[in-house]
Structure 1
């Protein structure tokens, strides 16, 4: 018997390429253009039962707002009676994390190139009022050309005004800024910059700047920014990393200052962005109105 290919909208759906707690990710191809995509499939009942409607709606809206060549692109959102389908750019090069594990560490030039792309993507998010809050090598993907793509906006926050402090402690402990751990409210931009600094260190060293078996010791070291750069880091890299991993968010280097740094600027070619495309969130609204509508009547099954 020939296996029947499933179709979702204009996409032929193939193998499962990833599985998480709440979603499956499937590989698919656009029937007309042949473009490869990744489809994140979520059951509506799961989203409702775990009260995740707002979070997922936010994640999808954020991904539509932050269009950038170094951010995984969200093409569209579709829904059937029981499922939601999030159609994403398919990034074939795997996680940056796997590359570090495989190679041990990356050269300074390669690390800098990824770091420049990461900073470009993060700066773009901040300009749109979006703070990622969970930047780590597992959430950075590589495309076929070795370009970095930021993914996983599940923990990101969106503030309309630039001066709102964020209050949720989230992220992965080793990558989290000291002020996030202190629970006094923090500036999302400065916290993301800190995580980028930890990522740069990991790329070049092959290990974490802050690593302890128990959390209290880890948090103490992060708060005091107690770390040592390995001997193979160049002077320029060390200087920049120390400016980024400054435990005081007020004096920590900002992205616009970082972009003037000599080490950072080497072979730097910022991405050319197309002028702001109009982002339409109607499809997101439609998909979620439908879920929220169905949840009002029909919680009994």
Structure 2
């Protein structure tokens, strides 16, 4: 696939890699008939079947065929072979909005234009019963004309997936952009949660930094829950008033998109007719999405996994609110009761437990570690060769907060501390970056990561 001359389905000439994640690669490609540039997302079927992400892929296909708008990345077609699924999508050459923000805050007129286009796209999604749930600058692209395009609907939800209370209940999103009611786990309106994320993005566009930020995840959540932020001095009064209504921790009193569109600051230069323009007619999802994502083409889905495979999966331990607090460095009381603190590192992930397990096993194989499984969501990993103080060993314990949000605790069980720390910093952390949502209890590492990001951006 990395060969630039590779021809896909006798239709697309594959080019360079544009990006890569845990389960997919995105390539630049050219339609050989029309010469149109496209992006092709290539998904490994075996991986998504193994970790139980088939429903997510099917939902993403359904959603992208449903939302066709000038400010949403368009899905042209979906193709599949026995081993791969191919999303042929619009190629947006301007890159991520995040990259533009790395150069500093935007002028008010530019920020307003992007915010107007974002609200137009999100309003359209909601009119089709689609909630994005992961709006952030990294998931917003810019075309060659400087127009915004919302992308990455992998965590989106459809209105018909709401429970009997009319609310969504899956904890997902990116910490700094997620609405407080999503964190609370009591259910939330998808439209109100998206509006909150839009408000955070507006703040970032105008300020050049996040309204809610802290190296401790629990302190970050506390600030989000209280709506504690401070506008910089250069924010116009109208913007401050608008943000106070968007970043309202109470979703029942948070401003609606209809009211945002009536805001005097928002309305300047806004063409309300834009919402009526679509890039093509509404399409129905493919008749058999199961056939697309199954390895055999017979419609195998997560529900049809081999029972023996299911038995081999490690069942994670469930956490309640007090468990979560105790795992946070900001509320860790173990020092009051323990004479010696054990060496441990934690991270959170929004992937299913099966995906986390699969990634840990993949890393262990690369490091030439043997893997054993215990009850209660624990993976035991041991090296094959002795080090300075015997064989290096570690446990990875997975705690379930929700089915799509987990905390993983890594703890050395045997061997030399320096060898373990070196392996953690040089091998484990870089290898885990695709599945980690946030590291917890390690401010030094977070500071290093922030410095690296600043160096890359400059």
Structure-1-length-normalised TM-score:
0.93
* Higher RCO structure (Cα 8 Å, ≥6 apart): 1
In 1, Cα distance between equivalents of 2:230 and 2:113: 22
In 2, Cα distance between equivalents of 1:76 and 1:283: 13
Q: Where in structure 2 are the equivalents of 1:72-87 lying within 5 Å?
A: 72-87=73-88
**Superimposed CA distance per residue, residues 16-50 of structure 1 (whole angstroms, 9 cap, x where no aligned partner):** 11111100111101111111000001121112111
Q: Contact 1:77–1:283 at 8 Å: present in 2 too?
A: no
User: Which residue of 2 is the match for residue 205 of structure 1?
Assistant: 207
Q: Contact 2:80–2:292 at 8 Å: present in 1 too?
A: yes
User: Which residue of 1 is the match for residue 55 of structure 2?
Assistant: 54
User: Which residue of 1 is the match for residue 43 of structure 2?
Assistant: 42
**Superimposed CA distance per residue, residues 44-77 of structure 1 (whole angstroms, 9 cap, x where no aligned partner):** 1112111111110101110110111101100000
Alpha-carbon distance, 1:166 to partner: 0.5
In 2, Cα distance between equivalents of 1:134 and 1:165: 17
**Superimposed CA distance per residue, residues 207-252 of structure 1 (whole angstroms, 9 cap, x where no aligned partner):** 1101112112111111111111111011111111111001110110
User: Which residue of 2 is the match for residue 229 of structure 1?
Assistant: 231
The reply to whether residue 288 of structure 1 matches residue 293 of structure 2 is yes
Structure-2-length-normalised TM-score:
0.62
User: Which residue of 2 is the match for residue 122 of structure 1?
Assistant: 122
The structure richer in strand per residue is 2
Which of 161, 170, 191 matches 1:189?
191
Q: Quick check: which has more Rg, 1 or 2?
A: 2
* Superposition misfits of 4+ residues, deviation over 4 angstroms: 289-292, 294-300
Question: What RMSD over aligned residues (CA atoms) do the two structures have, in Å?
Answer: 2.2
User: Which residue of 2 is the match for residue 179 of structure 1?
Assistant: 181
Alpha-carbon distance, 1:275 to partner: 9.3
Stretch of structure 1 that moved more, 92-101 or 163-172: 163-172
The reply to whether residue 150 of structure 1 matches residue 150 of structure 2 is yes
Q: Structure 1 residues 295, 167: CA separation in 2 closer, same or farther (over 3 Å shift)?
A: closer
In 1, Cα distance between equivalents of 2:250 and 2:34: 50
Unaligned runs of 5+ in 1: none
In 2, Cα distance between equivalents of 1:217 and 1:83: 42
Alpha-carbon distance, 1:282 to partner: 2.1
User: Which residue of 2 is the match for residue 219 of structure 1?
Assistant: 221
User: Which residue of 1 is the match for residue 137 of structure 2?
Assistant: 137
In 1, Cα distance between equivalents of 2:244 and 2:97: 23
